Amino acid sequence: MILLTLSALTLAAPAAPAAPLAQAKNRRAARRARGTLRLPELELPPVMVEAPEPEVPPPTLGDVGVSLAKIPGPTIPPEIRAMLDAAIAANDEAGVATIVKYARAGDPGSADLVLRQASDWRTARARAHDERLQQASAFELWTGKAEAGGFISTGNSNITGLTGSADLTREGLRWRHRLLGQADFQRTDGVTSRERYTFGYQPNYKVSDRAYIYGNLGYESDRFLGYVSRYAVSVGAGYGVFRRSGLTLDLEAGPAFRQTDFTDDFMQSSLAARGSMNLNWTLIGGLRLSQEASAYLEHYNSTVRSVSALEAKLLGPLSAKFSYTVQYESEPRDERLSTDTLSRLSLVYSF
């Protein structure tokens, strides 16, 4: 009895502290619950903060940069520079062009420098040329040549002949002026057998480097061709077909008016068509071929004149010239021949 009672007490004794343990657990659970309580989130507006850009020092190469700066650029070789300077000093356009052409093959690295120096020289020369033309007076810038020749024959026939001509040209910025004059005189056995005088004035207005508008005033007197005087006026267009060094060719065409006083006191006036060509060709150094031709086509009488010449340089401004002239009249008066020719050898002075 006593043993059973003790056993019962022993088994029942641990159940007594159950209530205090449960309370402790509940308190810990409550504390944990209070610790994990979430508060509502607050929305704050964004704040902009301006800050200066950081200063970054420029990069430097130090000793490497100094060494690179000392590397020389391309230069013109002394030999090419000497030739180019000599051609420029001589005002030799063809020589400068040749040096520029072959500098690229001789030294490609300096070809651009040679071309630049030549271009600068051409630009400066053209500017100086234009300024000189603008500032020159009407009596300046005239160039040309004077021609003189003659012969005397005695014996079975007494013949005396004289010939002379002048050709003056003035090149302006827009205008070109040309004055022409010629005289031929011959006496055979005391009788005049040839007497011819011509004069001409040709103003040209330059439209471009090649095209121009021309005017032409002409006077002729040749009793042996049947007229005492002949006047011609023409206006038209001209064009430079070739403008090369040593080769030029000009062509002109336009309407004209002519008046002729014949030796039989008959006067004739008529409209005409005029055409002309002027060729100058340097064959070799000091030898030049020229060809001038003009034609007046009209209802009553047409005229064609051609002058072919070969000129050889002698000394300084002096040259020897041989020329051959043909003049054709379609309707000569008084049963004269329609064609006259003249061969002339003369001395030419250029200025």
pLDDT tens digits for range 122-155: 999 989 888 888 888 888 999 999 999 987 878 7
Residues 140, 169 contacting (CB under 8 angstroms): no
**Torsion angle defined by CA atoms of residues 72, 74, 76 and 79, in that order, rounded to the nearest 10 degrees:** 70
DSSP string across 298-345:
ESS--EEEEEEEEEEEEETTEEEEEEEEEEEESS-STT--SEEEEEEE
% the chain with pLDDT above 70: 80
* Residue 26 scores a pLDDT above 90: no
Indicate the pairing of strand 191-206 with strand 227-244: unpaired
- Non-local (6+) Cβ contacts of 264 within 8 A are 333, 334
CA–CA gap between residue 213 and residue 206 (Å, rounded): 7
Q: Which of 139, 190, 184 is nearest to 165 (CA)?
A: 184
CA–CA gap between residue 295 and residue 254 (Å, rounded): 11
- The dotted CATH code for 142-350 is 2.40.160.40
pLDDT for residue 12: 44
pLDDT for residue 309: 97
What tokens were used for 168? 């003056």
pLDDT for residue 49: 61
| SS3 per-residue string spanning 51-81 | CCCCCCCCCCCCHHHHHHHCCCCCCCCHHHH
pLDDT in tens, 269-319: 999 999 999 999 999 989 999 999 999 999 989 999 999 999 999 999 999
* Residue 249 scores a pLDDT above 90: yes
Task: With cut-offs at 50, 70 and 90, classify the pLDDT of residue 245.
Answer: confident
CA–CA gap between residue 292 and residue 224 (Å, rounded): 22
CA 217 to chain centroid, in Å, comes to: 31
CA-angle at 348, arms to 163 and 320, nearest 5° = 100
Average pLDDT over all residues of the chain: 85
Q: Which of 254, 170, 177, 176 is nearest to 210 (CA)?
A: 176
**What mean pLDDT is predicted for residues 255-280?**
96
CA-angle at 326, arms to 348 and 160, nearest 5° = 55
Q: What ranges in the chain are assigned the alpha helix state H?
A: 2-12, 18-35, 63-69, 78-89, 93-106, 111-135
* Residue 76 scores a pLDDT above 90: no
pLDDT for residue 74: 74
Overall pTM surpassing 0.85 (yes/no): no
* Residue 159 scores a pLDDT above 70: yes
Range name among 69-83, 216-230, 234-248, 295-309 with the lowest pLDDT average = 69-83
Residues 237, 253 contacting (CB under 8 angstroms): yes
**What mean pLDDT is predicted for residues 151-172?**
88
Indicate the pairing of strand 303-315 with strand 287-298: antiparallel
pLDDT for residue 155: 78
| Domain boundaries along the sequence of the chain | 73-135, 142-350
